[in-house]
């Protein structure tokens, strides 16, 4: 359930007409709903309330400061994968002691920054990283609290580009190497090994892969404890899928019940890293129709948003529902149309042709489920400015990131001296 619904014949974001925002800020733009963000966080928190749970919002899904701050106010901790995300989480008011630093490749600077900030835990994904972190922690005189991310070799049954738990993926320590990694970590100075971490992928639509991975991890915890390791934390990652079209993912409650039955008996503090589940349906992307073009094979609605703004459809063939901001009348005729952007690539599409009500230049379209992996994955291809992000709360809204103008972008570029001379 989200808070983008038709009322009085047009689409509202909570109590604000989307059209009004479009008139004020221009198109295209992202729009987030505070109520939906809070609701999703709360539903997930309720679903795992039987455990000693820490919900680390995966900042990568949507790292806008207003989004992180909204969730931090709900009590969320944060999962970050770069120095930039850590900085954002801190600025948004997440206490360092509520930040988990993950990621398959961290720079020395990032490790040192995480240690100096005093993060809750650093998830380590390889033996060289263990040694590097040990060295940096020792030189700073700070003990690093670490979990080792393991690769359980489980197929998450999701898009191949976002599956992370199979042995051929770059993530985590190979299952057979795990006992050796814990033995090494126990010997190295500066490391305080507290847990096991696992994350098998994203947009996972059945419980089975999670159950398999978590079952393997539960056995691992027992055998590591038998070998004398004090395992107090379990980081179970994110990945629970959401409906984009007609998918029926497990509910957070079903997921929470499964987790409780599989790992509840271990007495661990359990970390979760949901991203998409919290932010996905809390955001829409709004774009205006520039031209309706009847080509030989099909009709195109060419809009002012493009693949640089929302890359998921072309990158993963992801389906995002597309609706008109004006509510179509009941029984309105629909025609097949492909919604595409203005970028000079055939891949600049928001999906395969859809049945849409009649639309004309100037009409607004809403691309749903764009709150996660939308704005964060945008680029400036074709010298297109990064679009504004707007957050709604009840009948109020605020621009939470301004449009980054082309002048702003060019301001960071420098013409080298020899070219300046040549021009004189
Ligand atoms: N924890 C770790 C270690 C992760 O790598 C990820 C996502 C998450 C948590 C959050 O997963 P979520 O709950 O959001 O599924 N750009 C892709 C998704 C990439 C996910 C990367 N890792 C997309 O647009 O589908």
CATH of the domain at 266: 3.20.20.10
Strand, helix or coil for residue 228: coil
Shared domain check, 44 and 23: no
How many angstroms does the Cα of residue 239 sit away from the middle of ligand 1? 6
Domain-embedded: residue 114: yes
Residue located nearest, by CA, to atom 8 of ligand 1: 238
How many angstroms does the Cα of residue 373 sit away from the middle of ligand 1? 8
Tell how strand 77-80 and strand 283-294 pair up: unpaired
Shared domain check, 198 and 240: yes
How many angstroms does the Cα of residue 377 sit away from the middle of ligand 1? 12
Report CA-CA distances (Å) from 386 to 383, 394, 409: 9, 26, 9
Phi, psi of 215 (to 5 degrees): -65, -45
pLDDT of residue 424: 57
Non-local CB neighbours of 139 within 8 Å, separated by 6+ positions? none
pLDDT of residue 422: 65
CATH number of the domain within which 25 lies: 2.40.37.10
pLDDT of residue 157: 85
Domain-embedded: residue 423: no
pLDDT of residue 25: 98
By CB neighbour count within 10 A (0-12 exposed, 13-18 middle, 19+ buried), where does 170 fall?
exposed
Domain-embedded: residue 263: yes
- Ligand 1 lining (C-beta closer than 6 Å): 58, 60-61, 79, 102, 162, 199, 202-203, 237-239, 273-277, 312, 316, 372-373
Instruction: Select from 306, 409, 315 the least CA-distant residue to 367.
Output: 306
> Rounded distance, CA 146 to CA 123, Å?
6
Shared domain check, 266 and 120: yes
Domain count, the chain: 2
The catalytic residue positions are 344
Cis omega (within 30 of 0) for bond into 105: no
Domain-embedded: residue 100: yes
Shared domain check, 166 and 100: yes
Residue located nearest, by CA, to atom 19 of ligand 1: 162
Shared domain check, 60 and 16: no
Q: Are 227 and 193 in contact (CB under 8 A)?
A: no
Residue located nearest, by CA, to atom 16 of ligand 1: 373
Residue located nearest, by CA, to atom 24 of ligand 1: 373
User: Which ranges of the chain have pLDDT less than 50?
Assistant: none
pLDDT of residue 202: 96
Q: Are 102 and 81 in contact (CB under 8 A)?
A: yes
Shared domain check, 142 and 61: yes
Query: Could you read off the pLDDT of 125-161 as tens digits, one per residue?
Result: 999 999 999 999 999 999 999 999 999 999 888 888 8
Shared domain check, 157 and 221: yes
Burial 293-311 (b: 16+ CB within 10 A, else e): eeeeeeebbbbbbbbbbbb
Phi, psi of 392 (to 5 degrees): -105, 145
Shared domain check, 334 and 214: no
Domain-embedded: residue 267: yes
How many angstroms does the Cα of residue 418 sit away from the middle of ligand 1? 44
pLDDT of residue 169: 87
Domain-embedded: residue 417: no
Range of the domain at 391: 4-31+280-410
Instruction: Select from 213, 234, 146, 140 the least CA-distant residue to 182.
Output: 146
Domain-embedded: residue 214: yes
Shared domain check, 201 and 70: yes
- Which residue, of 276, 308, 340, is where some domain finishes? 276
Q: Model-level pTM greater than 0.85?
A: yes
Domain-embedded: residue 424: no
Shared domain check, 227 and 145: yes
- Which residue, of 276, 297, 317, is where some domain finishes? 276
Choose which residue among 151, 239, 277, 377 to substitute to test ligand 1 binding: the one with the highest number of ligand atoms within 8 A of its C-beta: 239
How many angstroms does the Cα of residue 384 sit away from the middle of ligand 1? 26
Shared domain check, 40 and 10: no
Q: What is the position in ligand 1's atom list of the atom closest to the CA of 103?
A: 3
- Which residue, of 234, 259, 276, is where some domain finishes? 276
Q: Are 215 and 153 in contact (CB under 8 A)?
A: no
Q: What is the position in ligand 1's atom list of the atom closest to the CA of 373?
A: 24
Query: Could you read off the pLDDT of 255-305 as tens digits, one per residue?
Result: 999 999 999 999 999 999 999 999 999 999 999 999 999 999 999 999 999
Non-local CB neighbours of 320 within 8 Å, separated by 6+ positions? 244, 285, 310, 312, 313, 350, 351, 367, 368, 369, 370
Shared domain check, 263 and 367: no
Q: Are 154 and 213 in contact (CB under 8 A)?
A: yes
């Amino acid at each position: 359930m989200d808070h983008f619904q038709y009322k009085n014949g047009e689409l509202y974001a909570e109590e604000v007409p989307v059209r009004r925002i479009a008139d004020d800020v221009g198109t295209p733009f992202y729009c987030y709903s505070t109520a939906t963000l809070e609701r999703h966080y709360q539903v997930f928190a309720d679903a795992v309330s039987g455990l000693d749970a820490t919900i680390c919002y995966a900042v990568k899904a949507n790292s806008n400061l207003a989004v992180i701050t909204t969730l931090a106010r709900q009590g969320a901790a944060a999962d970050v994968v770069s120095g930039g995300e850590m900085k954002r989480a801190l600025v948004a008011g997440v206490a360092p002691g509520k930040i988990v630093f993950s990621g398959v490749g961290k720079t020395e600077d990032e490790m040192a920054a995480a240690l100096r900030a005093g993060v809750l835990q650093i998830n380590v994904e390889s033996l060289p990283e263990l040694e590097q972190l040990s060295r940096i922690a020792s030189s700073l005189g700070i003990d690093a609290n670490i979990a080792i991310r393991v690769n359980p070799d489980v197929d998450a049954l999701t898009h191949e580009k976002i599956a992370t738990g199979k042995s051929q993926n770059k993530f985590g320590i190979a299952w057979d190497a795990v006992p050796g990694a814990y033995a090494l970590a126990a010997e190295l100075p500066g490391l305080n090994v507290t847990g096991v971490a696992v994350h098998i992928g994203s947009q996972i639509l059945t419980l089975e892969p999670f159950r398999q991975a978590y079952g393997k991890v539960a056995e691992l915890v027992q055998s590591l404890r038998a070998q004398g390791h004090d395992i107090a934390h379990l980081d179970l990652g994110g990945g629970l899928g959401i409906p984009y079209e007609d998918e029926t993912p497990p509910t957070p409650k079903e997921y929470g019940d499964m987790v409780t039955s599989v790992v509840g008996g271990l007495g661990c503090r359990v970390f979760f890293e949901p991203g998409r589940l919290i932010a996905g349906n809390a955001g829409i992307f709004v774009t205006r129709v520039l031209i309706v073009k009847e080509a030989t094979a099909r009709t195109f609605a060419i809009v002012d948003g493009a693949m640089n703004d929302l890359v998921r459809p072309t990158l993963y063939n992801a389906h995002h529902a597309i609706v008109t901001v004006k509510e179509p009348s009941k029984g309105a005729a629909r025609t097949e149309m492909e919604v595409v952007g203005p970028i000079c690539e055939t891949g600049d599409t928001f999906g395969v042709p859809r049945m849409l009500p009649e639309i004309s230049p100037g009409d607004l379209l809403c691309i749903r489920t764009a709150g996660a992996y939308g704005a964060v994955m945008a680029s400036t291809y074709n010298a297109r400015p990064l679009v504004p992000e707007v957050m709604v709360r009840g009948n109020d809204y605020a621009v939470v990131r301004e449009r980054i103008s082309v002048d702003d972008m060019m301001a960071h570029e420098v013409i080298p001296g020899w070219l300046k001379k040549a021009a004189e």
